Amino acid sequence: MLAQLSCTVLSRKELLDHIFKLTLSSSHISRKAKPGNFVHLKVNSDAPLLRRPFSIHSVDRARNRFEILLKVVGKGSAVLSQKSPGETLDLLGPIGNSFSLPPRGREVILVAGGMGIAPLWFLLTRLAGRFSPEDMTVFMGAKSKTELLYADKLKGTQAKLIVATDDGSAGRKGLITEVFLKEIKKRGRDLKKLAVCSCGPHKMLKSMSEIAKSLDLWCQISLETHMACGVGACWGCVVKGNDGTYKRVCVDGPVFDAREVVLE
Partner 1 sequence: MKGRPDLSVKVAGVRFSNPVLVASGTFGYGEEYNALIDLSKLGGIITKSVTLKPREGNPPPRTVETPAGMLNAIGLTNVGVDRFIKQKLPFLRRLNTRTIVNVAGSTVDDYLKVVKRLNRCKGIDMLEINISCPNVKEGGLAFGARPESAYECIKQIRDHTSYPVIAKLSPNVTDIVQVACAAEEAGADAVSLINTLVGMAIDVEERKPVLANITGGLSGPAIKPVALAMVWKVAGAVRLPVIGIGGIFNVQDALEFILAGACMIQIGCANFVDPQTTVKIVDGLNRYLKERKIKRITDLVGGLRTG
Ligand X SMILES: Cc1cc2nc3c(=O)[nH]c(=O)nc-3n(C[C@H](O)[C@H](O)[C@H](O)COP(=O)(O)OP(=O)(O)OC[C@H]3O[C@@H](n4cnc5c(N)ncnc54)[C@H](O)[C@@H]3O)c2cc1C
Ligand Y SMILES: Cc1cc2nc3c(=O)[nH]c(=O)nc-3n(C[C@H](O)[C@H](O)[C@H](O)COP(=O)(O)O)c2cc1C
Interface contacts to ligand X, rule CB under 6 A: 38, 48, 52-55, 68-71, 73-77, 115, 118, 202, 224-227, 254
Least distance (Å) between residue 18 CB and its own copies: 21
Residue 51 site contact among ligand Y, its own copies, partner 1, none (CB < 5 to 8 Å, cut-off depends on kind): partner 1
> Any idea what DSSP says for residue 250?
T
Nearer to ligand Y, 79 or 228 (CB): 228
Name the strand (E) or helix (H) holding 93.
strand 88-95
In the region spanning residues 196 to 235, those forming contacts with ligand Y, defined by CB under 6 A, are: 228, 234
| 3-state DSSP assignment of residue 1 | coil
- Does residue 73 interact with ligand Y by CB under 6 A? no
Half-sphere exposure of 219 (CA within 13 A, CB side): 28
Nearer to ligand X, 136 or 199 (CB): 199
- Note whether 136 and 110 are within 8 A (CB): yes
Which residue minimizes CB distance to ligand Y? 234
88-95/38-41 β-pairing: antiparallel
DSSP characters over 2-58 = -EEEEEEEEEEEEEETTEEEEEEE-HHHHHH--TT-EEEE---SSSS-S-EEEE--E
Site string for partner 1, 29-48 (x = CB under 8 A): -------------x---xxx
Residue 248 site contact among ligand Y, its own copies, ligand FES, none (CB < 5 to 8 Å, cut-off depends on kind): ligand FES
- Note whether 115 and 149 are within 8 A (CB): yes
Residue 201 site contact among ligand Y, partner 1, its own copies, none (CB < 5 to 8 Å, cut-off depends on kind): none
Residues that bind ligand FES (CB under 6 A): 227-230, 232-237, 248, 250
Nearer to ligand FES, 53 or 171 (CB): 53
From residue 246, give the alpha-carbon distance in Å to each of 99, 210, 222, 226, 236: 20, 18, 16, 15, 10
Residue 92 site contact among ligand Y, partner 1, ligand FES, none (CB < 5 to 8 Å, cut-off depends on kind): partner 1
Which residue(s) pair with 53 in the sheet? 40
CA distance linking residue 71 with residue 199, whole number of Å: 14
Least distance (Å) between residue 45 CB and its own copies: 7
Nearer to ligand X, 75 or 155 (CB): 75
- Does residue 16 interact with partner 1 by CB under 8 A? no
CA distance linking residue 140 with residue 218, whole number of Å: 19
Q: What are phi and psi of 245, to 5 degrees?
A: -90, 160
Nearer to partner 1, 174 or 236 (CB): 236
In the region spanning residues 16 to 45, those forming contacts with its own copies, defined by CB under 8 A, are: 45
Nearer to its own copies, 47 or 62 (CB): 47
Q: How far apart are the first and last CA of the chain?
A: 32
Contact residues: ligand Y, CB under 6 A? 228, 234, 236
Contact residues: its own copies, CB under 8 A? 45-47
